[in-house]
Structure 1
């Protein structure tokens, strides 16, 4: 069940089976699968298909730089982490679609020159115990130590962000606009070099990152760690049990919308950035074959894409973490 739950998370539809009830993330609440719940799909989801997102104007907001993040500081101390480059870590807040989203920034208050920046997109996380920077801070620290500013976002429903949509599918779809709005807002920071922006993403964040590259068509060099790239909606259908409420939701969605217009694998031609993918062979959640299909698909349309495979490594690269980070540092140094 845990594996199925994470796969649902790839579509931002986290469902936990417990005591005969399902909890659906993002403020949707509890659903009794034994009751005859009426399935209703929003008729306003067309704005999230790739063609519509490409026409959407990003919503620029002021990024508020707030106080230190105690949870990150405590973890650095417990791990004995020290860095040569002096940077500040702070919680941030910005607005997307009228809702506040929290996050984390590593930046250089005393630097006189403009800084390149990497946008950090985490994978699935449970809301309980979550703090700004969860899932990204360790890699963000290494990038910052090399002189690259980083900005992570928590997404709606996490940390100090406002609650997300109560529609199961919209809760998934609204993540891409959130990243688009963050990037547009980051460009307005006075110490950012808006011509040197990259993306780092892990797990479920990988699918979001690819979508952002397609929608923007921008040259954002991107590194993906074990990205969840099994296509939508197969990635959900393949893990469902008979009678699943999520299957009914997806079936109903398919009656009103074309799945293909929401699937990143149909828009590789729109990408204009180099993409590097890391994948371990012992990953319980993501498969090497998925990443091979992505890289081959990108190369077929003339894109710059590389895949690095780590024998026997897991979803978080616990065996080869330093090697993967070193490749990332070299990758961003090259493209910046």
Structure 2
């Protein structure tokens, strides 16, 4: 297979295995990842030439499309700056921002509460929205507003290939692993920023596909943040996501299976894409919200994720919302009340 064809197939794999759905909801959409089994390196926050980074202990070369490959990579985040003020309220100032994620410039939207600070911070990872129609800060609008009003700096990541972010290569632009790197880099850049952020109090929040991105970040970079919250997340097992969104696309499914094998035949490849395989690395408390009427990301996925985290002795809080759908409607205020209380406790 040629390099160009191989790269294009990898892009397709990352999109489909991430659970990419053609439909989008008001806060995002649907996507996710798969399982893995191989020796995992340890990672910890550090610095390189004064720039925050997450460096990994070298291991035997992992598959390039895998979480271990991201664990082996030095992830750098720096240069957070406010580009333009785009909104203002009595509670916070809103700015379009940019920062460096490795060699890329990533855009985002930041809300900074009024007052002296320093403030705790939340980095937000949105669900799937077609990059061709995505706009700066789209997704998680309600969460950004509420959290800023509650005294948290919010940094909503646009991801590579979205809004004003660099497109990167064809592979990196569409890879959920690339999105994971952008979210980790956002935390590092936020911690290095000279603005009113308490860099000892930072959390992650993601929904749908972004929930899968958060799971990845927790396994790739344990100790990076102090807590994490996910809403209606995709599965932490990549096989689930492939079967839901990849298998029905017969032409693409055949190409993926031809290159990488059926999940039953090539378990190492498929497990190498799954955060669940590496839940032993998670060091932060996690809160998961899921509705019983979610017709995009089945609630069974969160039940299995919770069981897997608990089996590893992790601190996980799980809230089920009867008859609530994927985007969260009537019970969203309750979910955010619980989220704010959880963040205040763990970012104290």
Shorter-chain TM-score bucket reads 0.7 to 0.9
Unaligned runs of 5+ in 1: 1-7, 18-43, 74-81
Q: Please say if 1:253 is aligned against 2:238.
A: no
CA contact (8 A) 1:10 1:228 kept: no
Q: Which residue of 1 is the match for residue 219 of structure 2?
A: 214
Measure, in 2, the Cα distance between the counterparts of 1:198 and 1:171.
23
Q: Which residue of 2 is the match for residue 139 of structure 1?
A: 143
Unaligned runs of 5+ in 2: 1-13, 24-60
Measure, in 2, the Cα distance between the counterparts of 1:170 and 1:257.
22
- Post-superposition offset of 1:195: 1.1
2:97 aligns with one of 86, 92, 96: 92
CA contact (8 A) 1:213 1:272 kept: yes
Q: Which residue of 1 is the match for residue 336 of structure 2?
A: 325
CA contact (8 A) 2:128 2:209 kept: yes
- The ranges of structure 1 where at least 4 consecutive aligned residues each deviate by more than 4 angstroms after the TM superposition are 12-17, 254-257
Structural mapping, 1:35-74, within 5 Å: 46-47=63-64, 49-69=66-86
**1:284-307 Cα deviation digits (max 9, x unpaired):** 111121111111111111111121
Measure, in 1, the Cα distance between the counterparts of 2:168 and 2:239.
21
Measure, in 2, the Cα distance between the counterparts of 1:64 and 1:249.
40
Q: Per chain length, whose mean CA-contact separation is higher, i.e. which structure has more relative contact order (CA < 8 Å, sep 6+)?
A: 2
Measure, in 2, the Cα distance between the counterparts of 1:16 and 1:168.
20
Structural mapping, 1:198-213, within 5 Å: 198-213=203-218
Q: Which residue of 1 is the match for residue 9 of structure 2?
A: none
Q: CA RMSD in A?
A: 2.8
Secondary structure of residue in 2 paired with 1:269: helix
CA contact (8 A) 1:48 1:174 kept: no
CA contact (8 A) 1:10 1:204 kept: no
Q: Is the alpha carbon distance of 1:183 and 1:236 closer, same or farther for their aligned partners in structure 2, counting shifts above 3 Å?
A: same
Structural mapping, 1:27-176, within 5 Å: 46-47=63-64, 49-69=66-86, 86-108=91-113, 110-111=115-116, 113-167=117-171, 171-176=175-180
CA contact (8 A) 1:165 1:171 kept: no
Q: Is the alpha carbon distance of 1:13 and 1:335 closer, same or farther for their aligned partners in structure 2, counting shifts above 3 Å?
A: closer
Measure, in 1, the Cα distance between the counterparts of 2:179 and 2:249.
28
CA contact (8 A) 1:120 1:150 kept: yes
Measure, in 1, the Cα distance between the counterparts of 2:244 and 2:100.
35
**1:203-233 Cα deviation digits (max 9, x unpaired):** 0011110111111111531111000115213
Q: Is the alpha carbon distance of 1:58 and 1:294 closer, same or farther for their aligned partners in structure 2, counting shifts above 3 Å?
A: same
- Post-superposition offset of 1:130: 2.2
CA contact (8 A) 2:15 2:174 kept: no
- Post-superposition offset of 1:69: 3.3
Q: Which residue of 2 is the match for residue 311 of structure 1?
A: 322
Secondary structure of residue in 2 paired with 1:69: strand
Q: Which residue of 2 is the match for residue 193 of structure 1?
A: 198
Measure, in 2, the Cα distance between the counterparts of 1:234 and 1:251.
19
Measure, in 2, the Cα distance between the counterparts of 1:310 and 1:110.
35
Length, aligned pairs only: 291
Q: Is the alpha carbon distance of 1:140 and 1:170 closer, same or farther for their aligned partners in structure 2, counting shifts above 3 Å?
A: closer
Q: Is the alpha carbon distance of 1:161 and 1:169 closer, same or farther for their aligned partners in structure 2, counting shifts above 3 Å?
A: closer
TM-score (norm 1): 0.78
Q: Which residue of 2 is the match for residue 182 of structure 1?
A: 186
Measure, in 2, the Cα distance between the counterparts of 1:192 and 1:320.
30
CA contact (8 A) 1:279 1:309 kept: yes
Q: Which residue of 2 is the match for residue 283 of structure 1?
A: 294
Measure, in 2, the Cα distance between the counterparts of 1:16 and 1:287.
17
Measure, in 1, the Cα distance between the counterparts of 2:158 and 2:172.
18
Q: Which residue of 1 is the match for residue 234 of structure 2?
A: 228
Measure, in 2, the Cα distance between the counterparts of 1:258 and 1:129.
32
- Post-superposition offset of 1:68: 2.9
